[in-house]
Amino acid sequence: MKATLILANGSVFEGRSIGSTADRVCEMVFNTSMTGYQEILTDPSYAGQGIVMSYPLIGNYGVNQEDNESGRPWAEAFIVRHMARRGSNFRREGDLDAYLKQYNITGIEGVDTRALTRILRSQGTMNGMITCAEHFSAADCLEKIRAYRVEGTVERVTRREPQVCPALGAQKLRVALMDYGVKDNMIRCLQRRGCQVTVFPAHTPASTVLEGGFQGVMLSNGPGDPADNEAIIQEVKVLYDSELPLFAVCLGHQLLALATGAQTRKMRFGHRGGNHPVKDMEAGRAFITSQNHGYVVTRDSVDPAVAAISHVNVNEGSVEGLRYVRPNCFTVQFHPEASPGPMDTEYLFDRFVAMMEKGGARNA
């Protein structure tokens, strides 16, 4: 079946329908990863967005339940150059096209994704629409496209009730993890280090966490504009003012920056992929990182009396991490639970655990 992708700038791409045939309006972003399409689709940070995969062949190893990063995919749409009709891998449990249909994700293949990526990179992330209609009004489509805004996404993706995830092996510590759109492997990274992780819904009051007898708090990744989460930011400030060790990733990193007086801004096209070089300023080493964010902490807004910039993006110098003057508190923009490069960044979880062990148990 024919499908058409229309961008907010008026560009039109024709291709073939994959997945759902429902019309879909969303924010179009591109990802440069060569593999990991299932992890990308199930990353809650993509809520409200359509994903353009710049790598030309997607779906070649199928799908399986083990690779999910959450209970379901969150992407609105999926755009590829060519989708393999039959995945080939010993872990395969199904095919990507059926997976997209199962979760009502609208897709299009046969699109020149290189040209599409160049538009999004040069003109910036923009809204778009995929339709399978044979006849449609471009003017009507553009009106819907330009009216769309990604909002309310944290409320969509967060858990509704707290969930306790036991430590893998002997339990050493208890961690409170605030779920703004957490990926499952972030939880597993803590579990493997002897942490019992209690995952709290995004709007849980800070007092509930502080009275829970936890040795540390982690703020997760998540979707959308961090500045939209005013109530959450107030609760994050209360957590910051406590004595608990605090580690934040991606959206959590941005929320904590806003809570302590810094500012964020929307990037032209964001960082999405598994090949972003980041330098750890303290260690003097660069790491290849996995990233998925469209907003960034503004460098000039970081008060050196509050925090120092600990990590920077090697490509363009943006802020990738902060080490706070307040003891036992640090944050990063990238995803340390993912391991895209030869030197992964899970050492940050070890640092967090060491902080908690040094701090000892907090009295309830």
Q: Clarify whether 134 is annotated catalytic.
A: no
So what's the pLDDT on residue 361?
42
| Chain segment 131-175, per-residue pLDDT in tens | 999 999 999 999 999 999 999 999 999 999 999 999 999 999 999
| Chain segment 119-133, per-residue pLDDT in tens | 999 999 999 999 999
So what's the pLDDT on residue 37?
97
Picking from 29, 92, 26, the residue whose alpha carbon sits closest to that of residue 59 is 92
Q: Compute the distance between CA of residue 290 and CA of residue 335 in angstroms, rounded to an integer.
A: 6
Q: Which of 195, 250, 271, 320 is catalytic?
A: 250
* Cα-Cα-Cα-Cα dihedral sign, residues 240, 361, 334, 84: negative
| Chain segment 227-270, per-residue pLDDT in tens | 999 999 999 999 999 989 999 999 999 999 999 999 999 999 99
Q: Clarify whether 235 is annotated catalytic.
A: no
Q: Clarify whether 335 is annotated catalytic.
A: yes
What domains sit in the chain, N to C, each tagged with a CATH number?
Answer: 2-150 (3.50.30.20), 154-359 (3.40.50.880)
Q: Compute the distance between CA of residue 276 and CA of residue 286 in angstroms, rounded to an integer.
A: 10
Q: Which of 271, 276, 311, 335 is catalytic?
A: 335
Summarize the confidence of residues 57-63 as an average pLDDT. 97
So what's the pLDDT on residue 341?
65
So what's the pLDDT on residue 327?
95
Residue 362 has pLDDT above 60, yes or no: no
Residue 63 DSSP one-character state = B
Residue 75 has pLDDT above 60, yes or no: yes
So what's the pLDDT on residue 364?
29
Residue 359 has pLDDT above 90, yes or no: no
